[in-house]
Every structure is written in C-alpha cells, then in structure tokens.
Amino acid sequence: MTEHDSNRPTWRKPIGILGLLAALTAYAAIVGSLSGVLGTLPVLVQTLIYVILGVAWLLPLRRYLIWMETGRWG
C-alpha cells in the first residue's frame, strides 16, 4: 500500500458511525423498556443498575473504533 492509498477514505467510518448510532438507539430502547420493572426496585438498586447499564455499552467500543480506523478487530 502506498502512502497515497492510506489517505483515501474508506467506507468503514461512515458505516461504522451509522452502525454505532443504530446500536446505541437499540440499546437505549432496550434499557428504556426495562424502566417499568426497574422502577419498582429501591432507588439505590436502580441507581446501581443504571450506572452499570450506562457504562456497559463502552466495553465493545474500543475494538469497534479500532475496526473503523484499521479494518481489524484488535
């Protein structure tokens, strides 16, 4: 691959951003659908669950961003 080839845009970034937005929307909808069940729990338990769910989506993000940039998963 030449230096010129490495500067060419790829399809991974725009598709990756759209995929990320779609995945986050679906994840938020799933978490939101649990609010009826979670709303019956004590406030501290709700807080803990929402903090865990709020951070959980970050776990696969690093590898996904690496794929968007390089085309490899890690």
**Cα(10)–Cα(47) distance, rounded to whole angstroms?**
40
Nearest to 65 by CA among 56, 57, 55, 74: 74
Joined tokens for residue 23: 């995945």
User: What pTM, to 2 d.p., does this model score?
Assistant: 0.74
Domain count, the chain: 1
**Cα(68)–Cα(21) distance, rounded to whole angstroms?**
14
Q: Which residues have C-beta within 8 Å of that of residue 43, sequence separation ≥ 6?
A: none
Domain interval for residue 12: 3-70
2-38 pLDDT tens trace:
555 567 778 999 999 999 999 999 999 999 999 999 9
Tokens 């845009």 label which residue?
9
